[in-house]
Amino acid sequence: MSETAMRIEVFKTYKLYVGGKFPRSESGRVYEVTDTKDQWLANAPLGTRKDTRDAVLAARAAVKGWSGTTAYNRGQVLYRVAEMLQGRREQFTAEVAAAEGLGAKKAAALVDAAIDRWVWYAGWTDKVAQIAGGANPVAGPFFNLSTPEPTGVVGVVAPRTGHGFSLLGLVSVVAPAIATGNTVVVAAAEQAPLPALSLGEVLATSDVPGGVVNLISGRTADIAPTLASHQDVNALDLAGAIDLEGPGAAAALEASAADTLKRVVRPAADPSAVDWTASPGTGRLLSFLETKTVWHPMGI
């Protein structure tokens, strides 16, 4: 082989991530994903309502195991995600650069921030009960203790705008939900799903049990309403619900979620102004928790 011979690159087939496996969409359809300059990047699976339903099933099945594992173990798993992501930094830098129209350096900084965000939440798993729970000094001979417990299955409409939305934004909404023991079904950013679909590959190799995170690419207007109306979804993060009207609009989704009184995190007032590199605080971490208070008498 001569040194100048051209080598044909191997393209990656992007797939959904559901229940720890990588299925194609049941629709058998894909859609074109382009960079911000309309250059074709890849075909992404066009996930459907049925794919979303399958994902909810997988997420529900994973709740018992994931919420039942120790907080320490969950922390180790989330930290492992950071380690794996660190190892694929170059790949994600390229994907984020293409997704958000950024230079390599800025994209790399966003990937680094996404890695660090996993580390941040890895540290929260075994501390959230210590800031969100505690002993209550009730007036009487009772031991009284409040502890937070995960809500269950969280539907996530992944961020679609804001600096760093494609990977850092995604991590910033997925990690806090699973850190506390929830499982998630994510409607990936419709126009830029590739970092999300690749993140599935990282999760699959990071000791995250199958079904804890499920990633669906496709039309947000199909997937998000399915999640909002699904009776076996307990909460909804509408970070990326940026449609102003139609079934994918935040208000419509929130109204639909109200049927089963899902816990809802609304999108930012101006989603395009969100800077996902900003320190996340504890808002999302505490959003998908139920507080359980136990009373027990004290006596001989």
Nearer to other proteins, 79 or 92 (CB): 79
What is the C-alpha to C-alpha distance for residues 29 and 128, in angstroms, rounded to an integer? 41
299 burial (CB, 10 Å; 0-12 / 13-18 / 19+) is exposed
Q: At its nearest, how many Å lie between other proteins and the CB of residue 120? A: 6
- Applying CB under 8 A, among 98, 102, 122, 185 the residue interacting with other proteins is 122
CB proximity list for 274: less than 8 A, separation 6 or greater: 159, 161, 162, 163, 165, 169, 268
CA distances from 60 to 53, 282, 285 (A): 11, 25, 20
Q: Could you tell me how many residues of this chain bind other proteins (CB under 8 A)?
A: 24
Residues 137-176 touching other proteins, rule: CB under 8 A, are: 141, 143
Neighbours of 59 (CB within 10 A): 28
> Positive or negative, the Cα torsion across 224, 256, 242, 176?
negative
- Applying CB under 8 A, among 34, 42, 88, 116 the residue interacting with other proteins is 116
- Applying CB under 8 A, among 57, 119, 204, 221 the residue interacting with other proteins is 119
Q: At its nearest, how many Å lie between other proteins and the CB of residue 146? A: 15
Residues 253-292 touching other proteins, rule: CB under 8 A, are: 282
Q: Which range, of 36-44, 54-62, 127-135, 212-220, touches other proteins by CB under 8 A?
A: 127-135
Coil, helix or strand for 126? coil
| Using rule CB under 8 A, residue 295 touches other proteins | no
Nearer to other proteins, 15 or 80 (CB): 80
Coil, helix or strand for 166? helix
Assigned token pair, 77: 């798993």
Which residue, among 273, 280, 277, 55, has the nearest Cα to 177 in the 3D structure? 280
Residues 48-77 touching other proteins, rule: CB under 8 A, are: 71-72, 75-76
Q: At its nearest, how many Å lie between other proteins and the CB of residue 128? A: 9
- Applying CB under 8 A, among 17, 79, 276, 288 the residue interacting with other proteins is 79
Question: Contact positions toward other proteins, by CB under 8 A?
Answer: 71-72, 75-76, 79, 116, 119-120, 122-127, 130-131, 141, 143, 282, 296-300
